[in-house]
Structure 1
Amino acid sequence: MAVRHETELYAPIKAFFERLGYEIKGEVRNCDLVGIKPEQQEPLIVEIKKTFNLSLVLQGMQRLKLSSNVYVAVERNRAKKGAVNQRWSELVGLCRQLGLGMLTVTLFKTKPPLVEILCKPAGPGVHGRKTTTIRLGSRKERLLREFYARSGDHNTGGSTRRKLVTAYREKALRVAAALQSLEEAAPAQLARTAAVSGAAAVLQRNYYGWFERVSRGRYRLTPLGEAALSEYAAVLQEQGAGMAAAQAVGPDEGGVQRRIAEAPAPYSSTTPADAESY
């Protein structure tokens, strides 16, 4: 059963790794799927394509700069036995040489999808590859910060040309929701109501066109902002529970990843570039 879009493979892969104890989120800083397991230091990264190709290999190699736990994933279509991208033994051999893990997804009409791991990532210490450290401001730290800052998994891995629900968009939504209830307010008041420390920057930059300045230090919601609150109503509902759960985790419960990811950022986290670059 051939898939038409990469996104069709995301749900089976997500379910597979969730059963292994991972928390999964899609489209995190350009990675199709990112997973975090409390007892593991290295995040899981999976890049998804309909078929095995050079682009997938190159993406996988780039992700090895962020983690040693990287998989490439493709559909396994039994109707394409003679196709180049179905020469599994050769493709597995290539992935092993590169230190990548490989998995396939077989879709059926009448039974659940089958996810199979053909080889696991080489991991740190193999092929001279070391565990990537978590330094403030590094790409890995930004990946983890974005992962933990999101209230839930609102994106489907493999999506293209779609608006992503990033941590920045969630922050702007909280400010918009608070402004809707107040009708008109100052940044400091919104920062308290929405629990967003960077509320003033979100309002001033107005990246999405959701806010309008009515007088010095006073803002109100635009029609675009009202529409966004309706469009992302489900995200707003999940935000409350997600943020409360994140705040309830003690410093020793989430491990080194969460402690570093939630440390004060050495860079601005409310720039327009952050809003849509994920």
Structure 2
Amino acid sequence: MAVRHETELYAPIKAFFESLGYEIKGEVRNCDLVGIKPEQQEPLIVEIKKTFNLSLVLQGMQRLKLTSNVYVAVERNRAKKGAVNQRWNELVGLCRQLGLGLLTVTLFKTKPPLVEVLCKPEGPNRDERKTTAIRPGSRKERLLREFHARSGDYNTGGSTRLKLVTAYREKALRVAAALQVLGEAAPVQLARTAAVSGAAAILQHNYYGWFERVARGRYKLTPFGEAALSEYAAVLQEQGNEAAAAKTIKPDEGDVLHQIAETPVPYSSAAAEDVEDD
């Protein structure tokens, strides 16, 4: 059963790694799928394509700069046994030489999808990477920060030309929701109500056109902002659920990954990059 879009492979791959204990989120800083295990510091990255090609290999090699735990994933189509991209023994050999993992997804009309790991990743300096501290400001740190700053998985890995729900968009939504309730408000009031410390910068830069300055230090919601609150209602609901759960769970002060997510970042270096991911 041939897939029409690589996004069709995301759900089976996500379910597979969730069964192994990973928390999964799609389209995190241009990676199709990112996974984190609570007890591990090294993230999982999976790049997804309909078929095995050079572009997929190059993407996988780029992701090895972030983590040694990188898989490339493609559909396994039983109707294409003679195709070059279905010569699995040769493709496994290539991936092993490059340090990449390879997994396939077989889709059926009447049965659940089958995910198979043909080889596991063995990236360069794998043992060294496990003990290396995460450097502040590095691409890996920004990947982990973005992952943990999102309240849920609202993007399908492999999506193209779609608006992504990034951590920055989530913050802007919280500010918009607070402004909808208050009518007009100052940045300080919105920062307190929405629990977004960078509310002033979000209002001033107004990347999405959701906010309008009506007087010095006073803002209101635009029709675009009202429409966004309706469009992303599910995201706001999930954020509310996350906030309620957080009140009942005390974070582990020794958890390095959560420290990364909570560490403040200057607006100029973080927000602009998050908007670009959209």
Coarse TM-score class (shorter-chain normalised): over 0.9
Deviation per CA, 1:59-80: give whole Å up to 9, x if none. 0000001001000000000000
Matches within 5 A, 1:1-278: 1-123=1-123, 125=125, 130-131=129-130, 133-245=133-245, 248-252=249-253, 255-265=255-265, 268=268, 271-277=271-277
Cα 1:124/1:97, change in 2 over 3 Å: closer
Please report how far the alpha carbon of residue 245 of structure 1 lies from its aligned counterpart in structure 2 after TM superposition: 4.1
In terms of fraction of residues, the more helix-rich structure is: 2
Q: Measure, in 2, the Cα distance between the counterparts of 1:9 and 1:138.
A: 30
- Note the C-alpha offset of 1:123: 4.5
TM-superposed CA distance for 1:85, in Å, is: 0.1
* Shift of residue 156, structure 1, vs aligned partner: 0.2
Q: Which consecutive residues of structure 2, in runs of 5 or more, have no partner in the other structure?
A: none
| Cα pair distance change 1:125/1:270, threshold 3 Å | closer
CA 1:267–1:135: 2 relative to 1, 3 Å = farther
Render the CA deviation track for 1:77-101: whole Å, top value 9, x for unaligned: 0000000000000000000000000
CA distance, structure 2, for counterparts of residue 89 and residue 30 of structure 1? 29
Q: Which amino acid aligns with 1:220?
A: K
Paired letter, 1:207 = Y
Q: Secondary structure at the match of 1:4?
A: coil
Report which stretch shifted further, 243-252 or 17-26.
243-252
Rounded Cα–Cα distance in structure 2 between residues aligned with 1:99 and 1:57: 11
Q: Write the distance in 1 (CA, Å) between the matches of 2:180 and 2:270.
A: 21
Q: Which amino acid aligns with 1:121?
A: P
Q: Equivalents in 2 of 1:197, 1:39: separation in Å?
A: 29
What do residues 169-222 of structure 1 show as CA deviations (whole Å, max 9, x unaligned)? 000000000000000000000000000000000000000000000000000000
The RMSD of aligned alpha carbons is 1.8
> Which consecutive residues of structure 1, in runs of 5 or more, have no partner in the other structure?
none
Superposed displacement of residue 134, structure 1: 1.0
1:202 and 1:270 in contact (8 A); partners too: no
| Aligned partner of residue 202 in structure 1, secondary structure | helix
Q: Closer, same or farther in 2 for the Cα pair 1:98/1:246, shift >3 Å?
A: farther
Distance 1:234 1:194, change over 3 A: same
Number of aligned residue pairs: give it: 276
Checking the alignment, whether the CA contact within 8 Å between 2:99 and 2:124 is kept in structure 1 is no
Once the two structures are overlaid, the 10-residue window that deviates more, 111-120 or 260-269, is 260-269
8 Å CA contact retained: 1:137, 1:267: no
Q: CA deviation at 1:271?
A: 3.2
Q: Partners in 1 of 2:28 and 2:110 — Cα distance?
A: 32
Per-residue deviation, 1:40: 1.6
Give how far 1:148 is off.
Answer: 0.4
* TM-score, structure 2 as length reference: 0.94
User: Residue deviations 1:126-174, cap 9 Å, x none?
Assistant: 5x97446411111000000000000000000000000000000000000
Q: Report the CA distance shift for 1:213/1:242 in structure 2 as closer, same or farther (over 3 A).
A: same
- Structure-2 separation of matches of 1:66 and 1:249: 29
Report Cα offsets for 1:84-119 as digits up to 9, x if no partner: 000000000000000000000000000000000000
Structure 2 counterpart SS, 1:103: strand
Change (3 A) 1:269 1:243: farther
SS, match of residue 271 in structure 1: helix
> Percent of aligned pairs with the same residue?
83
Rounded Cα–Cα distance in structure 2 between residues aligned with 1:266 and 1:223 = 29
Q: Which amino acid aligns with 2:69?
A: N
Structure-2 separation of matches of 1:120 and 1:103: 8
Preserved contact between residue 136 and residue 265 of structure 1 (Cα < 8 Å):
no
* Counterpart-to-counterpart distance in 1, 2:185 and 2:266: 29
User: Structure 1 CA distance, aligned partners of 2:245 and 2:139?
Assistant: 25
Q: Is the 8 A contact 1:99 1:121 kept in 2?
A: yes
Distance in 1 of aligned mates of 2:150 and 2:224: 22
The amino acid that maps onto 2:41 is: Q
Any conservation in 2 of the 1:60–1:70 contact (CA below 8 Å)?
A: yes
Relative distance call for 1:43 and 1:273 in structure 2 (3 A) is closer
TM-score of the superposition, structure 1-length normalised?
0.94
The aligned amino acid for 1:258 is H
Query: What amino acid does structure 2 have at the position aligned with 1:59?
Result: Q
